[in-house]
């Protein structure tokens, strides 16, 4: 690659990164300013951070909300990855016409806006006594057509000769899945984990329907609480939002090497 | 004879194993999605205020084609779909293949920065975008100072610019998200293929079209279906950035359905009927995409 | 045979899978998956009972003992008021307890809609706060949700009539009025001074005079008099109510085509905008921002806007309030109106409605002490006896030493009542669309006709 080309590439990446990060910079700097300054468009960091933090901790139980969000999101992510990858693997590796048809039907499940299915779903969860519980939170989204399809698509590149070899060695189908597929597909799992965690963490409409108790409120619900008053404290709100954004960002940062650095060859 | 029958049982066995593997996920979806969907379908043949519903035949389905706001919302949504989805996917693909370059420095940093927008909470993102495009916001400030505009332009109260702001916001928020799938998909392509192509004298652009795109086809199909679905159910941006305005010219179908359910006098039969129209539209598009992209060869 | 194996496999994977108990999520759906049933509810039983199923003991009714669950939003304002009310009530009823759950209004609306539509009211609290504009809609759509409070011992006659009207449906009282939404016009006195004007020039005026004064201020300072959120018709609705007019007739039909008040309001709004006296902004944040950063010389809104204005500490002493301008050429035009505000509702799910009613009667409808205690948070009463209290006469330094609280309570008694209408939000959106198009040059009569068609379409189900 020529020097000029290289320079162009870096310049392009820098511009894209700047545009991506700028609003986040704004958020961080807003968290250190007074409400009136934030709303008048001040862009430089201020000295009001400690004050905002004090106010936030005084009005909202951030610790509990974070704890709830972590609990719900982690459990949902782990269960979801197992269930969906198993299903995606099943759909692809043992594919036949019937399974392809079932896959298409399953895809339909994500095409109806949640608003329409929310009320019957609420009825089911409420009757089962799962309001304000982890299981109530995770059940509707623990198995998603999206994740199943994601694993189905990536299982397509899972080499068949390895499977045959493992079968000849006498490995059971389940062990092939756990011992061969899972490690090979590390990058898919890492990407799926990032996305699922993020979706769980940010989910709002469903928790707001089934969480009727203060003690089960999640982080996005706390953020919503802050925007509802007659007076919005924008500095405090931005701090809460920042706290709400960090976990997903950290999860991404930690997992990115797993899904973006080449690991093919690990199986060989 | 005995050999072939053994083979048959083996493939039978595999077939059953497949079903067993996909059963937990499929059954969960059956219970948590299809049962509510069937209930919603039944509801779509009823009409009434709040909880007082009466059967009404297909009235809800004929009604929506006389609903000027809903028709407007369909047009708006398709406008977003046609422009935003292809641009976003192409852009994400380009970014992913650049960031997959072995010799690139600070890859992790660039990747994280480009991913960050979709991790940002909706509340912050909405406030930030509204303030950026406000009359005295940063975008106006820059454009006026550069002499491109004489006076601040009210981006969110003019139809075309309001729609464009929504598209920009969508691109900003979801490009990094789609990039993740491509990056992860690219890991399954052997780097040596690129090196071989290079030795054969292929340019970067050529290997992008001849190697990257074909090998990523399953992932591209996945993201295309997901983005189509996501855009047809677009809600957040319409509600939080423009509130559907000016005069409903940027409202989306899901936004209108939500209003119909929770803001207006609730008519869930009608909401359900409109939701099923979305299902039909997405299903047709997804079916076409599967036909084109879901071939095993 | 094959089918049998398949069934067995399915069954076993269900039990094996972590979430096998999903099967009984369909209490209404299937018969399957009993096996894991007791595993999940066991761990869930504990957290579920204190929220979902309130008031285990429906024992004592008027003894004042017991716990009530309340949903409301805004800790500094509504939650604070509820906690103060709890303290007041506990003086005579030491065994009384409140469980206040902070819930934004949008969430309350979603939860009520979901619960009522699915026929499962057991998830509702005992008392919740409801936006006044949504009262008619919710009571008509979900007649089972709100308890009738007409004969509950609460004296509704002591509340401002214009305020109580929001929560009266078919002659029955469903809500205890709470916060005041009386409209105030706020002005930056330092800006007015530069134009050679004072607040007196803005008191008891018409919109014609407002426009003339606004031009002077614009010329002298370059600042518009008022900013408004585009696509929201707050000001339109305030102007309508100031003349006692609304978008609906007594019988519930839409009153848009041929509504001369509405036409005058729209024309007035456009003339303000065309003159540059009124500037439209894109969002609520920008609206508040334009006030606190001094980009406008004033605003007209419900009196609760004053709390936001006061966050601009550097502008203390430079603000004054007075009544709003009146419409010209409209019968019944006044200088008083209302915007926003909310009322307490008791649900039918409340196991001890007598207790809930008694609690509200002795606090929000019977305690000057409560209203004195919550005054510092900016919560102003619509309960007439509270306005006579000394606390309401205290001057506000921020607003130039004026006794603003007493002034607002006085305003609120003069607000003409109007018909909210069940289809309030539909009509409001339709009119917002009409005004947007009208400002951009569309024909006013045609736009009003379209708005009426939209509303009639929504009503015709």
Which residues are registered as beta bridge partners of C99? C69
**Rounded to whole angstroms, how far apart are CA atoms A171 and A161?**
14
Per residue in B228-239, pLDDT tens?
A: 999 999 998 888
Mean pLDDT, residues C320-348 taken together:
94
Determine the average pLDDT of the residues in C320-325.
Answer: 96
Question: Could you check whether the bond before residue A33 is cis, i.e. omega within 30 degrees of 0?
Answer: no
Residues of chain A with pLDDT under 70: 1, 261-268
Long-range contacts of B56-65 (CB under 8 A, 24+ apart): B56/B269, B60/B269, B60/B270, B60/B272, B60/B273, B60/B274, B61/B273, B61/B277, B63/B270, B63/B273, B63/C461, B64/B270, B64/B273, B64/B274, B64/B277
**pLDDT for the residue numbered C62:** 53
Q: What percent of chain C has pLDDT over 70?
A: 86
pLDDT at A39: 78
Strand C298-302 versus strand C175-177 pairing type: unpaired
- The average pLDDT across C104-114 equals 92
Same fold, C66-180+340-387 and C183-337+417-459: yes
Q: Is the pLDDT of residue C341 over 70?
A: yes
Residue C417 and residue C162 in contact, taking contact as beta carbons nearer than 8 Å: yes
So what's the pLDDT on residue B124? 74
Options 3.40.50.1980, 3.40.50.2300, 3.40.190.10, 3.40.50.10890; CATH of C66-180+340-387:
3.40.190.10
Q: Which fold has domain C183-337+417-459?
A: D-Maltodextrin-Binding Protein; domain 2 (3.40.190)
Any chain C CB within 8 A of the CB of A252? no
Q: What share of chain C is helix, strand, coil (3-state, %, to 5)?
A: 50, 15, 35
Domain residue spans of chain C: 66-180+340-387, 183-337+417-459
DSSP three-state, residue C176: strand
Q: Which of residues 27-86 of A touch B (CB under 8 A)?
A: 27, 39, 41, 43, 83-84, 86
| Cα gap A268→A255, rounded to integer Å | 23
CA dihedral A9, A12, A17, A18 (to 10 degrees): 140
- What is the rounded distance in angstroms from the CA atom of residue B124 to the CA atom of residue A240? 9
* A64-71, long-range: CB < 8 A, 24+ apart: A64/A215, A64/A217, A65/A217, A65/A218, A65/A219, A65/A221, A65/A222, A66/A219, A66/A243, A66/A247, A68/A216, A68/A217, A68/A218, A68/A219, A69/A201, A69/A218, A69/A219, A69/A220, A69/A247, A70/A247, A71/A134
What are the Cα distances from residue A267, in Å, to A181, C402, C434? Answer: 9, 79, 65
Rounded Cα distance, A128 and C41, in Å: 8
Contacts with C137 from chain B: Cβ below 8 Å? 264-265
Q: Residue window 104-123, chain A: list those with CB within 8 Å of chain C.
A: 118-120, 122-123
Neighbouring chains of C at 3+ CB pairs under 8 Å are A, B
C52, C122, C289 ranked by CB distance to A40: nearest? C289
Query: CA of B160, closest CA in chain A: separation in Å?
Result: 22
On average, the pLDDT of chain A sits at 88
List the 416-435 stretch of C: residues with Cβ below 8 A of B.
Answer: 422-423, 425-426, 429, 432-433
Q: What is the pLDDT of residue A257?
A: 79
Q: What is the pLDDT of residues C249-280, one digit of tens each?
A: 989 899 999 999 999 999 999 999 999 999 99
- If one compares C30 and C366, the residue with the highest pLDDT of the two is C366
Question: Tens of pLDDT along C38-72?
Answer: 333 333 333 333 333 333 333 334 556 789 999 99
Beta bridge partner(s), residue C69: C99
- Domain-by-domain residue ranges, chain A? 19-39+46-260
DSSP A98-145: HHHHHHHHHHHTTSS-HHHHHHHHHHHHHHTT-TTSHHHHHHHHHS-H
**Tens digits of residue pLDDT in C207-232:** 999 999 999 999 999 999 999 998 88
Residues present in chain C in total: 461
Q: List chain B residues with CB under 8 Å of A89.
A: 21
Q: How far is C242 from chain B (nearest CA, A)?
A: 24
CB environment C374-408: b (16+ within 10 A), e (fewer):
bbebbbbbbbeebbebebbeeebebbbebebbbbb
Q: 0.90 cut: is pTM over it?
A: no
Instruction: Choose between C426 and A268: higher pLDDT.
Output: C426
Query: C21 contacts in B (CB within 8 Å)?
Result: none
CB nearest to B35's CB, from C26, C110, C286: C26
pLDDT tens string C190-206:
999 999 999 999 999 99
Q: Give residue-wise pLDDT tens across range C235-250.
A: 999 999 999 999 999 8
What is the rounded (10 degree) CA torsion for A35, A36, A38, A43?
-130
Measured CA angle at B192 (ends B112, B211), to 5 deg:
75
What is the enclosing helix (H) or strand (E) of C66? strand C66-72
CATH number for the region A19-39+46-260 comes to 1.10.3720.10
- What residue of C is the nearest CA neighbor of A204? C107
CA distance C285 to chain A (A): 7
Cβ-Cβ contacts under 8 Å, B226 against chain A: 146
The torsion of the CA quartet A43, A46, A51, A55, rounded to 10 degrees, works out to 0
Helix (H) or strand (E) holding C130: strand C127-131
Q: Which residue of C has its CA nearest to A225?
A: C104
Q: Which pLDDT score is estimated for C51? A: 38
| CA trace torsion C15, C20, C21, C27 (10° rounding) | -110
The domains located in chain B, with CATH, are: 68-293 (1.10.3720.10)
What is the model's pLDDT at position C54?
A: 37
Q: Which chain C residue is nearest to residue B242, measuring alpha carbons? A: C282
Nearest to A223 among B26, B98, B123 (CB): B123
Query: How far apart are the C-alpha atoms of B13 and A256, rounded to whole Å?
Result: 38
**Interface contact flag, C28 A124, Cβ < 8 Å:** yes
Q: How confident is the model at residue C413 (pLDDT cuts 50, 70, 90)?
A: confident
Nearest beta carbon to residue A119 from set C19, C24, C117: C117
For chain B, which residues score pLDDT lower than 70? 1-8, 297
ipTM of the complex: 0.86
Which neighbouring-strand residues pair with C182? C338
**CA C394 to each of CA B292, C306, C375, C381, C398: distance values in angstroms, whole numbers, following the listed order:** 75, 16, 10, 15, 12
- Whole-number pLDDT of residue C190: 95
CB contact under 8 A, C426 and B265: yes
Alpha carbon of A255: minimum distance to chain C alpha carbons (Å): 25
Give the per-residue pLDDT at B125: 81
Quote the CA–CA distance of B171 and A163 in Å, as a whole number.
Answer: 40
Q: Contacts of residue B180 in chain A, CB cutoff 8 Å?
A: 191, 194-195, 259
Dihedrals phi, psi of B187, to nearest 5 degrees: -65, -20
C391: confidence class by pLDDT, cuts 50, 70, 90? confident
B155: closest chain C residue by CA: C282
pLDDT tens per residue across span C9-23: 444 443 333 333 333
pLDDT given for residue C120 in this prediction: 86
**Pairing, β C298-302 against β C168-169:** unpaired
Identify the pLDDT of residue B271: 92
Q: Tell me if A203 sits within 8 A of A190, measured CB to CB.
A: no
């Amino acid at each position: 690659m020529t020097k000029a080309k290289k320079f162009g590439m870096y310049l392009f990446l820098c511009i894209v990164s700047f545009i991506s990060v700028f609003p986040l910079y704004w958020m961080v700097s807003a968290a250190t300013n007074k409400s009136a300054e934030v709303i008048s468009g001040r862009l430089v960091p201020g000295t009001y951070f400690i004050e905002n933090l004090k106010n936030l901790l005084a009005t909202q139980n951030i610790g509990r909300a974070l704890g709830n969000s972590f609990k719900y999101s982690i459990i949902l992510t782990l269960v979801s990855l197992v269930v969906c990858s198993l299903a995606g693997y099943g759909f692809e590796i043992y594919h036949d016409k019937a399974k392809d048809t079932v896959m298409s039907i399953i895809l339909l499940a994500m095409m109806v806006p949640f608003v329409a299915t929310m009320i019957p779903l609420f009825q089911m969860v409420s009757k089962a006594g799962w309001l304000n519980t982890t299981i109530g939170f995770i059940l509707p989204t623990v198995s998603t057509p999206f994740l199943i399809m994601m694993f189905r698509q990536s299982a397509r590149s899972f080499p068949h000769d390895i499977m045959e070899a493992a079968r000849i060695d006498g490995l059971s189908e389940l062990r092939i899945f756990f011992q061969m597929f899972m490690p090979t597909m590390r990058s898919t799992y890492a990407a799926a984990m990032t996305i699922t965690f993020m979706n769980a963490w940010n989910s709002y409409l469903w928790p707001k329907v089934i969480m009727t108790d203060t003690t089960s409120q999640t982080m996005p619900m706390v953020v919503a609480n802050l925007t509802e008053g007659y007076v919005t404290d924008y500095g405090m709100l931005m701090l809460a939002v920042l706290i709400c954004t960090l976990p997903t960002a950290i999860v991404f940062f930690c997992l990115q090497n797993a899904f973006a650095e080449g690991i093919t060859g690990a199986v060989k | 004879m005995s050999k072939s029958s053994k083979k048959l049982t083996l493939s039978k066995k595999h077939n059953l194993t497949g079903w067993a593997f996909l059963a937990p996920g499929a059954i969960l979806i059956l219970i948590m999605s299809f049962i509510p969907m069937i209930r919603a379908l039944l509801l779509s043949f009823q009409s009434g205020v709040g909880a007082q519903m009466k059967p009404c035949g297909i009235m809800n389905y004929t009604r929506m084609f006389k609903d000027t706001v809903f028709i407007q919302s369909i047009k708006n949504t398709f406008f977003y779909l046609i422009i935003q989805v292809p641009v976003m996917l192409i852009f994400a693909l380009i970014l992913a293949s650049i960031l997959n370059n072995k010799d690139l420095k600070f890859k992790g940093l660039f990747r994280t920065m480009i991913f960050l927008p979709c991790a940002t909470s909706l509340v912050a993102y909405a406030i930030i975008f509204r303030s950026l495009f406000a009359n005295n916001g940063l975008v106006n400030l820059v454009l006026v100072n550069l002499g491109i505009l004489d006076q601040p332009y009210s981006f969110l109260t003019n139809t075309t610019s309001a729609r464009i702001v929504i598209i920009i916001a969508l691109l900003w928020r979801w490009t990094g998200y789609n990039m993740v799938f491509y990056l992860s998909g690219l890991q399954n392509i052997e780097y040596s293929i690129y090196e071989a192509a290079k030795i054969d004298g292929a340019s970067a652009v050529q290997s992008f079209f001849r190697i990257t795109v074909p090998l990523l086809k399953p992932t591209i199909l996945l993201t295309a279906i997901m983005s189509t679905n996501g855009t047809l159910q677009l809600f957040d941006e319409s509600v939080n950035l423009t509130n559907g305005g000016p005069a409903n010219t940027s409202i989306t179908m899901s936004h209108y359905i939500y209003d119909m359910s929770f803001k207006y006098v609730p008519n869930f039969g009608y909401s359900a009927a409109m939701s099923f129209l979305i299902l039909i539209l997405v299903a047709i598009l997804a079916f076409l995409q599967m036909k084109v992209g879901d071939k095993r060869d | 045979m094959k089918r049998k194996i398949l069934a067995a496999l399915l069954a076993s994977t269900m039990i094996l899978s972590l979430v096998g108990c999903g099967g009984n999520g369909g209490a209404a759906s299937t018969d399957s998956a009993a096996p894991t049933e007791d595993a999940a509810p066991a761990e869930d039983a504990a957290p579920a009972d204190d929220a979902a199923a309130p008031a285990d003991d429906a024992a004592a009714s008027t003894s004042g003992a017991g716990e009530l669950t309340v949903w409301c939003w805004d800790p500094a304002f509504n939650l604070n008021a509820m906690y103060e009310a709890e303290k007041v009530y506990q003086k005579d009823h030491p065994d009384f307890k409140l469980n206040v759950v902070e819930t934004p209004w949008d969430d309350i609306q979603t939860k009520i809609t979901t619960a009522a539509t699915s026929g499962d009211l057991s998830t509702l609290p005992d008392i919740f706060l409801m936006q006044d504009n949504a009262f008619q809609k919710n009571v008509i759509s979900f007649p089972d949700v709100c308890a009738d409070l007409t004969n509950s011992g609460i004296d509704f006659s002591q509340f401002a009539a214009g305020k109580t009207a929001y929560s009266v449906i078919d002659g029955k009282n469903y809500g205890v009025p709470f916060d005041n939404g009386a409209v105030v016009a706020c002005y930056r006195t330092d800006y007015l001074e530069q134009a050679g004007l004072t607040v007196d020039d803005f008191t008891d005026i018409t919109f014609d005079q407002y426009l003339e004064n606004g031009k002077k201020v614009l010329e002298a300072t370059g600042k518009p008099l008022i900013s408004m959120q585009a696509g929201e018709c707050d000001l339109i609705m305030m102007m309508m109510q100031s003349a006692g007019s609304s978008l609906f007739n007594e019988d519930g039909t839409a009153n848009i085509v041929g509504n001369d008040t509405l036409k005058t309001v729209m024309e007035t709004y456009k003339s303000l905008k065309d003159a540059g006296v009124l500037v439209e902004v894109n969002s609520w944040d920008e609206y508040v921002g334009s006030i606190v950063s001094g980009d406008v010389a004033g605003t007209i809104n419900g009196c609760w806007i004053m709390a936001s204005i006061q966050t601009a500490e550097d502008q203390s002493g430079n603000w004054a309030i007075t009544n709003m301008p009146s419409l010209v050429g409209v019968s019944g035009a006044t200088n008083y109106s209302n915007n926003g505000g909310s009322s307490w509702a008791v649900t039918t799910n409340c196991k001890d409605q007598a207790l809930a009613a008694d609690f509200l009667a002795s606090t929000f409808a019977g305690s000057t002490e409560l209203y004195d205690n919550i005054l510092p948070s900016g919560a102003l009463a619509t309960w007439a006896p509270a306005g006579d209290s000394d606390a309401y006469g205290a001057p506000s330094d921020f607003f130039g030493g004026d006794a603003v609280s007493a002034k607002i309570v006085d305003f609120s008694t003069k607000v003409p009542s109007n018909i909210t209408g069940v289809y309030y939000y539909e009509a409001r959106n339709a009119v917002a669309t009409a005004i947007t198009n009208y400002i951009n040059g569309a024909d006013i009569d045609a736009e009003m006709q379209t708005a009426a068609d939209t509303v009639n379409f929504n009503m015709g189900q």
